[in-house]
Amino acid sequence: MLHKIESNPILDRLPAHLQQYIKPQNYDDYSPINHAVWRYVMRKNVDYLSKVAHESYLEGLKQTGISIDHIPNMYGMNRILKEIGWAAVAVDGFIPPAAFMEFQAFNVLVIASDIRQLEHIEYTPAPDIIHEGAGHAPIIANPEYAEYLRRFGEIGCKAISSARDYEIYEAIRHLSIIKEAEDTPQQEIEAAEKKVDQLQNEIAELSEMAQIRNLHWWTVEYGLIGTLENPKIYGAGLLSSIGESAWCMTDKVKKIPYSIDACKQEFDITKPQPQLYVTPDFAHLSLVLEEFANKMALRKGGLEGIQKLINSKNLGSIELSTGLQISGDFSKVIEHEGKPIYIQTSGKTALSYREKELVGHGIKNHKEGFGSPIGALKGINLAIEDMSPRDLSAYGIYEGKKIALEFEGGINVTGEIITGTRNLQGKIILISLKNCTVTYGDEVLFKPEWGKYDMAIGKEVISAFAGPADSLSFDLITHKTSSTTIKSKVTPEREELASLYASVRNIREGKNAKFSLDAALELVKKGHPKDWLLSVEVYELAVGKDEKLAKEALQNLENVKSRRPDISHLIDGGVNLIDAELVK
């Protein structure tokens, strides 16, 4: 049964290129087994994490309205999240890192609405609602951390990627899907793991996006807080994993003080982490983020920033000192003494000012690309952008005048000025010319027959970043994944097991049930010898009330343990939790 996507004021602000990733949660698709998995993980987590998680976790569970007994309905969550200025949306598995971070910048939590199988109850490499809803959501109730998350998204979505980043994203997405899916041949999983390993182990310079993704992993996903000797958990990956939340507290996992060096530490999403980083407090996270941002092309610009955009082979933008922004696929830069003196895009290009496209300078006007000199005029101490009307007149730079401009580095522009465009401060940001020729030595960069020439004005490139300056300039509704998450198969055997789980849940909640506890236990013993969680739930309801049934449930669990020793610790964990609650 499909549900419409309910909106709210926070979600209404999302641009269309982010809305393309949102899907309905389809709450009715969750089976009684799914709810039992959620309940087991949450009961175990809340019991254990009350001792080892940051204090914001348990507080946040209450504040965000996340139930221990039922998978959260996202629309109910949104009504509560709205009170702390956030919202949540459902998506299909992993989405591209830049989109994920941009959602964060809009105060929106991205929640993969699928839930792990019972077979992967301890950990799944695929993002799921346990990881997102029980991991991320509670911690954002802490205002200081919530602002870090928002700011991280704001900066992270501007990080410049490489072609290799997208390859890694697709490979990891595929691996996470097939590892979580049932009945995937081991050979197929090994081949996918090999591809991820090969890509991650290639000797290549880490892009900005790869580095900030590492920072995200070691803080938002797998972060510890406090001291090296006594850290607490705040990372969502740890908060949502009953296996790794215990493992990470042992001496087998190396604890390292969190610093900007974490941006170089890559990770394997399919394995427990061998080391984790500990921040003294949430404020330190923001300090490291700003330290990293200061090294990004977003804040440094210059020749290096343009080269990063060229190497990325993706849509990006530069901003000049006048505030003029050029967005497109950057294909060429001419440099002189370590500075860019000419930039060139190929294909659709748009010009903006303060993230707003300039009238008459969209992709229809610059569909073949855009090129312009950057920098100061040769032999003139005053940059064009700093010239007063009198200065411009003195140098012959005004409407109707034929000009011959020589820029430092050797770019020459000749032509007749049509008009100029100024910014709010009165600085010229663009000059349009006709009958224009642009040359660099013997190379002709623009010819008169190509039409009107628009010359960007700016003495330097102050910023370079991923994506367009104005998201409305380009058609960004193009997301297509190479794979989609694989749903569990519906079989008569699974439907019967689900009906047994439904009966146990209904009995717990005082509702009418198709099967009694005795009947449910008998049927699971006969028809589902591998299942263990239903017997744990029967034991929970019977112990202290029906000792005969409680003993039968325990005996069946012992039988399952002998057949499946690998899950003995899960059974023991569930039983011990119930016994401990009886003592309280």
Q: Which residues are documented as binding site for Fe cation?
A: 131, 136, 221
Q: Which of 226, 248, 253 is nearest to 237 (CA)?
A: 248
User: CA of 92: how far to CAs of 128, 129, 238, 418, 545, in Å?
Assistant: 9, 11, 21, 51, 43
8 A C-beta contact, residue 183 and residue 491: no
CA-angle at 181, arms to 175 and 183, nearest 5°: 110
Spatial separation of the C-alpha atoms in residues 71 and 489, rounded to whole Å: 20
Cβ partners under 8 Å of residue 510, min gap 6 = none
Rg of the chain over all Cα atoms, to the nearest angstrom: 29
Closest CA to 453 of 433, 430, 431, 429: 433
Place of tokens 């920072």: 215
What's the CA gap between 311 and 79, in Å, rounded? 43
In 350-466, alpha helices (H): 389-394
Q: Is the Cβ–Cβ distance between 500 and 534 less than 8 Å?
A: yes
Cβ-count burial 230-252 (b if 16+ within 10 Å, e if not): ebbbbbbbbbbbbebbbbbbeee
How far is CA 244 from each of CA 45, 204, 253, rounded to the nearest angstrom?
11, 30, 10
Backbone angles phi, psi at 576, to 5 degrees: -60, -35
Whether the CB-CB separation of 279 and 228 falls below 8 Å is answered with: no
The DSSP letter of residue 29 is G
The amino acid at residue 431 is: I
* d(C-alpha 462, C-alpha 532), whole Å: 61
Largest CA distance in the chain: 102
Q: For 61-98, give the DSSP string.
A: HHHTT--SSSPPPHHHHHHHHGGGT-EEEEESS---HH
Which positions make up the binding site?
A: 131, 136, 221
What are the tokens at 584?
A: 């309280």
Is 90 within 8 Å of 74 (Cβ atoms)?
A: yes
Identity of the amino acid at 401: K
Residue 3 DSSP label = -
Report strand pairing: 224-226 vs 108-112.
Answer: unpaired
| 51 burial type by CB count under 10 A (0-12 exposed, 13-18 middle, 19+ buried) | exposed
Question: Which amino acid is it at 499?
Answer: S
Query: Are 233 and 56 a contacting pair, CB within 8 Å?
Result: no
List the structure tokens of 31. 């089976």
